[in-house]
Structure 1
Amino acid sequence: MAGSSAFRWEGAGCLRMRLSLAALSGRAVRICGIRSQELNPGLRDFEASFIRLLDKVTNGSRIEINETGLLHGGKIEHDCHTQRSIGYYLEALFYLAPFMKRPLKATLRGVTNDQTDPSVDTLKVTALPLMKRFGIDDEGLELKVVRRGMAPGGGGEVIFSCPVRRFLKPVQLTDPGKIKRIRGVAYSVRVSPQIANRIVDSARSILNKFIPDIYIYTDHMKGTNSGKSPGFGLSLVAETTNGIFLSAELASNPQGQGSPVLPEDLGQNCAKLLLEEVYRGGCVDSINQSLALLYMALGQQDVSKVQIGPLSPYTIEFLRHLKSFFQIMFKIEAKPLEEQKGGEKVLMTCIGVGFSNISKTVT
Structure 2
Amino acid sequence: MRKKRSPAQRQRGQMRILSPDENTRGFPLTPGRNNNNMASHGLDYDGCNFFRQRLVLSTLSGKRVRIKKHKVQRRQPGAPRFRGQLYQTVDKVTNGSRIEINQTALDRLLSGGSAHAGSIHEDLMKVTLKGVTNDHIDPTVDVLKSTALPLMKQFGIDGEGFDLKVVKRGMAPGGGGEVVFICPTRRTMRPVQLTDPGKIKRIRGMANRIVDTARGVLNKFIPDIYIYTDHMKGANSGKSPGFGLTLVAETMNGSFLSAEMSSTPQGQGDPMLPEDLGKNCAQMLLEEVYRGGCVDSSNQSLALLLMTLGQQDVSKVLLGPLSPHTIEFLRHIRDFFQIMFKIQVQKPSEDERKGGDKVLMTCVGVGYSNINKTLK
Q: TM-score, normalised by structure 2?
A: 0.84
Deviations 1:139-167 (Å, cap 9, x if unpaired)? 23110000111111111110000011111
Matches within 5 A, 1:19-34: 19-34=55-70
Secondary structure at 2:172 match in 1: coil
How many residue pairs match? The answer is: 329
1:274 deviates by 0.2
Question: Of residues 340, 363, 370 in structure 2, which corresponds to 1:350?
Answer: 363
Matches within 5 A, 1:52-67: 52-67=88-103
Q: Which moved more, 1:29-38 or 1:299-308?
A: 29-38
Q: Any unmatched runs of 5+ in structure 1?
A: 72-95, 188-195
Separation in structure 1 between the aligned mates of residue 106 and residue 44 of structure 2, nearest angstrom: 19
Question: Of residues 235, 258, 262 in structure 1, which corresponds to 2:273?
Answer: 262
Secondary structure at 1:221 match in 2: coil
Paired amino acid for 2:90 = L
Distance 1:70 1:335, change over 3 A: closer
Paired amino acid for 1:104 = M
Q: Which moved more, 1:304-313 or 1:132-141?
A: 132-141
Deviations 1:6-39 (Å, cap 9, x if unpaired)? 2111111111110110000011111111123555
* Equivalent residues of 1:148, 1:156 under 8 A apart: yes
Separation in structure 2 between the aligned mates of residue 333 and residue 106 of structure 1, nearest angstrom: 38
Q: Which residue of 2 aligns with 1:276?
A: 287
Matches within 5 A, 1:171-210: 171-187=192-208, 196=209, 199-210=210-221
Q: TM-score, normalised by structure 1?
A: 0.87
Alpha-carbon RMSD across the aligned residues, in angstroms, is 2.1
Deviations 1:93-147 (Å, cap 9, x if unpaired)? xxx7899975210111101000000000111000000000000111231100001
Question: Of residues 317, 333, 341 in structure 1, which corresponds to 2:354?
Answer: 341
Runs of 4+ in 1 over 4 A off after TM superposition: 37-42, 96-102
1:161 aligns with 2:182: yes
Q: Which moved more, 1:29-38 or 1:314-323?
A: 29-38
Q: Which residue of 2 aligns with 1:77?
A: none
Q: Which residue of 2 aligns with 1:360?
A: 373
Paired amino acid for 1:279 = Y
Question: Of residues 234, 248, 260 in structure 2, which corresponds to 1:237?
Answer: 248
1:40 deviates by 5.2
Q: Any unmatched runs of 5+ in structure 2?
A: 1-14, 16-23, 29-40, 108-114
Separation in structure 2 between the aligned mates of residue 68 and residue 320 of structure 1, nearest angstrom: 28
* Equivalent residues of 2:168, 2:237 under 8 A apart: yes
Separation in structure 2 between the aligned mates of residue 318 and residue 254 of structure 1, nearest angstrom: 29
1:18 aligns with 2:31: no
Q: Which residue of 2 aligns with 1:223?
A: 234
Separation in structure 1 between the aligned mates of residue 277 and residue 331 of structure 2, nearest angstrom: 35
Q: Which residue of 2 aligns with 1:132?
A: 153
* Equivalent residues of 2:72, 2:106 under 8 A apart: no
Secondary structure at 1:65 match in 2: strand
Matches within 5 A, 1:41-80: 43-69=79-105
Separation in structure 2 between the aligned mates of residue 311 and residue 66 of structure 1, nearest angstrom: 35
1:303 aligns with 2:314: yes
Separation in structure 2 between the aligned mates of residue 244 and residue 97 of structure 1, nearest angstrom: 30
Q: Which residue of 2 aligns with 1:6?
A: 42
> Structure 1 vs Structure 2: percent identity of aligned residues?
67
Name the structure where helix makes up a greater proportion of residues.
1
Distance 1:336 1:44, change over 3 A: same
Separation in structure 2 between the aligned mates of residue 102 and residue 157 of structure 1, nearest angstrom: 23
Secondary structure at 1:63 match in 2: strand
* Equivalent residues of 1:41, 1:68 under 8 A apart: yes
* Equivalent residues of 1:34, 1:41 under 8 A apart: no
Distance 1:340 1:327, change over 3 A: farther
Secondary structure at 2:98 match in 1: coil
Secondary structure at 1:34 match in 2: coil
Secondary structure at 2:316 match in 1: strand
Separation in structure 2 between the aligned mates of residue 98 and residue 236 of structure 1, nearest angstrom: 33
Q: Which residue of 2 aligns with 1:252?
A: 263
1:52 deviates by 1.3
Q: Which residue of 1 aligns with 2:224?
A: 213
Q: Indicate the structure (1 or 2) with the bigger Cα radius of gyration.
A: 2
